[in-house]
Structure 1
Amino acid sequence: MPAVTVRPLETRRIAEAVDLVCARLPELPRAEAAMPFESPELFPLLVRHTAHDEDDHLVGVGLLQRPGFAPPDRCGLRLVVARDVEGSGVGSALRASLLPLVPGTIARLGTGVFDDDERSLAVARHWGFEIEKHGIESSLDLTELAPSSPLPPGVTLDEVPDLGFADRDAVEHMLRASQTNPEAALGFVMSLEAFSTMLTADEEPVCVVARVDGVPAGITFGGVQSGALSIAYSGVDPAYRGRGIMRAVKERAHVVAARLGARVSNTTNEEANVGIRRINADLGYVVRSGVYRMVQEHRQA
């Protein structure tokens, strides 16, 4: 193994770290890759280490991270190694530097691997991670939007980017009821408070709520940055499903995002969540990539 030095990320090398991640993971949108480096305030737990070769070239990045909406007993461990030094022990050195810093409150470590990256999948399994779910990432071109569908009977749409609802409790109730998705079953439960902590300082919020005869029935929330809408959550209260509400909400969110300068919309859905994936396909979303979300139990040494 060549000589490798691991140390906390230096502010002056943040741009290098982002470039390394983007070069190694080209399928990852840059805004997502940059988030733990350029918007650390979004992570209640965040540790950032970098690996350097003998000439001080940055050859790897390691992260411990937990966003505010994640279960409190869980955090992510992400290791990204420059392709030309893979297999030389850089990832192991980063992992060894981070594991002792995992707080005692953490019982589960998560990580992610693109489903066409067999080598990284094998490494993650070697380290004890197992596949928990399979996220399907898809995108929609917003530069030529088709006309929106007629609204279902009794349905109205509200654009509320600041989450300033007069009937906040009713919207919160609808949001909780809508979470029958596989991610919620794993503990990733959304709330309006969580929404308010999910966007970076330069992201424009997009929030559309559907109401049936005035009662909150469905919601889409996300943000626009660098010409892309990233959808964080979409859901409909089960009591109002089957009426075309989700399609109407997402179509309006696309219009709002395009108005803010977005040229593309990106979303990720669990493979088994066939309902929302069918709606996305009908709207014209095209599958871009797939990600295995992996997990392992963690015990302090």
Structure 2
Amino acid sequence: MAWPFESPEVFTHLVVAVARDDDEHLLGVGLSLRPTFAPPDRSMLRVVVPRDHEGHGVGSALRRFLLPHVPDTTRRLGGGVYDDEPRSLEIVRHWGFGVEEHAIDSALDLVEHPPEAPVVPAGVDLEEVPDLEFDDEGAVEAMLRASQTNPEAAVGFVMTLEKFRTMTTNGDIPICVVARVDGTPAGISYGTVSAGELFIAYSGIDPTFRGRGLMRLVKQQAHVAATGAGATKARTNNEEHNAGIRRINAELGYVVQSGVYRLVQDLAADASR
């Protein structure tokens, strides 16, 4: 939940609710917000209640308080619970949420696994373009769009260069690597370094150029660039069944840290709102 406070420019309509008892002890926190990179009809609701305060209606009260603050344009409300919290999943299902996907968060220790510049085959070039300025921006944008055969894009989270730009906030160091085959944009990896950690927001290869090992190359070069920017750790998350990128991550040394059920509630069909 720290990201909305650390990078408020990435989120709009941020409303924070705090529950306390008569002695001002913290009982729970809730957020309503809309990520700038989300589809236009989506916003998010987050409720966190410490384990020793569960079962007393704190989460439900926070949710009731926040729902009127959800933007009117919202048709699908997003949320999430860790996959090792079955009770939380039961509660949000009762609220009307369903599981949209199972996301796996993985991390790579860049100190234990110091990255080396990849060896690229003839005809392939790797460009570091942290400012996202391209002479052939239209071609890069087309490659980025074509590369998105991932489950997240299928439910509306489609990345663009402009969305990448909105993810970079003050203090972040952008990392972008583009692979070209004979000059043609073929793949991309984009992320940011903050507080010594690289978060890779997206990596993809145009289907036309798959099967050449380009994904591994762009991620390796992104690790090199991030290390130069002071990163000691890399992190990313991928849908459980996205086998290709998860296999490459594991081969590069990424280790699974946690899993999250990403949830969605259709507000148009929910008369209880």
Q: 2:181 aligns with which of 212, 216, 221?
A: 212
Instruction: Within 5 Å, give how 1:1-301 maps onto structure 2.
Output: 33-143=1-111, 144-299=113-268, 301=273
Shift of 1:82: 2.0
Taking structure 1 as the reference length, the TM-score comes to 0.86
CA contact (8 A) 2:118 2:221 kept: no
Shift of 1:146: 4.9
Taking structure 2 as the reference length, the TM-score comes to 0.95
Shift of 1:226: 1.1
Once residues 139 and 43 of structure 2 are traced to their aligned partners in structure 1, the CA distance between those partners, rounded to angstroms, is 31
Q: What is the root-mean-square deviation in Å for CA atoms of aligned residues?
A: 1.3
After the TM superposition, which segments of 4 or more aligned residues of structure 1 sit over 6 Å from their partners?
none
Identity of aligned residues (%): 62
Code of the residue aligned with 1:114 in structure 2: it is: Y
Once residues 41 and 213 of structure 1 are traced to their aligned partners in structure 2, the CA distance between those partners, rounded to angstroms, is 38
CA contact (8 A) 2:11 2:35 kept: yes
Shift of 1:124: 1.0
Once residues 158 and 116 of structure 2 are traced to their aligned partners in structure 1, the CA distance between those partners, rounded to angstroms, is 33
Code of the residue aligned with 1:157 in structure 2: it is: L
Shift of 1:83: 2.2
Once residues 109 and 152 of structure 1 are traced to their aligned partners in structure 2, the CA distance between those partners, rounded to angstroms, is 45
SS at match of 1:205: strand
Shift of 1:103: 2.4
Once residues 93 and 147 of structure 1 are traced to their aligned partners in structure 2, the CA distance between those partners, rounded to angstroms, is 51
How many residue pairs match? The answer is 269
Shift of 1:200: 2.6
Code of the residue aligned with 1:49 in structure 2: it is: A
CA contact (8 A) 1:229 1:264 kept: yes
CA contact (8 A) 1:152 1:245 kept: no
Once residues 233 and 176 of structure 1 are traced to their aligned partners in structure 2, the CA distance between those partners, rounded to angstroms, is 12
Code of the residue aligned with 1:75 in structure 2: it is: S
CA contact (8 A) 2:115 2:220 kept: no
Code of the residue aligned with 1:81 in structure 2: it is: V
Shift of 1:278: 1.0
Shift of 1:148: 4.1
Once residues 38 and 282 of structure 1 are traced to their aligned partners in structure 2, the CA distance between those partners, rounded to angstroms, is 32
Unaligned 5+ runs, structure 2? none
Code of the residue aligned with 2:147 in structure 1: it is: S
Q: Which structure ranks higher in relative contact order (CA pairs < 8 Å, sequence separation ≥ 6)?
A: 2
